[in-house]
Structure 1
Amino acid sequence: MLVSMSAALLLGLLIWFLLRIRYLRRADVLLCGVFGFLVARTVAAPLVQALLVGVGSFLGQLRF
């Protein structure tokens, strides 16, 4: 668990840096996918899932 949390943090920082310099390519999509799988295996997974459900329900209630 500790290794996956460290890897998720490292990959998150790398993705943030690539977004900051506006340099994401197709290969970086794989990096983002690996980051998602690593976050899903950490303690943060329930928090991320609750956040996504909350945002989804908020967007679902919007009427245009």
Structure 2
Amino acid sequence: MIISLSTVLILGALLALMLRNRSLGAGGATVAALFGFCLASTGAAPAINDALQSLADSLGRIG
């Protein structure tokens, strides 16, 4: 868990830097994919899934 959490933090910081500098290419896509896979293995995954489901339900009711 500690290794995956530190990996998520490092990849998140790297992705934020790439987004800020607008230097997203193939490397940025790889970092984003790795960030997503690592984030999915942390304890934050259920909360993120619940938030996204709630957002999707809200948008479905609007449209």
Fold-level similarity (TM above 0.5): yes
The reply on whether 1:8 has 2:8 as its aligned counterpart is: yes
Cα deviation 1:17-55 (Å, max 9, x = unaligned)? 111111110221111111101001001111111111111
Match for residue 45 of structure 2?
45
Q: Number of matched residues?
A: 63
Match for residue 60 of structure 2?
60
The reply on whether 1:25 has 2:11 as its aligned counterpart is: no
SS in 2 for 1:16: helix
SS in 1 for 2:43: coil
SS in 2 for 1:30: helix
State the distance in 1 between where 2:11 and 2:39 align. Answer: 10
Runs of 4+ aligned residues of structure 1 deviating over 2 Å after TM superposition are: none
Q: Calculate percent identity across the aligned residue pairs.
A: 35
Q: Tell me which amino acid in the other structure corresponds to 1:11.
A: L
State the distance in 1 between where 2:2 and 2:48 align. Answer: 18
For structure 2, the residue ranges without an aligned partner over 5 or more in a row are none
CA RMSD of aligned residues (A): 1.0
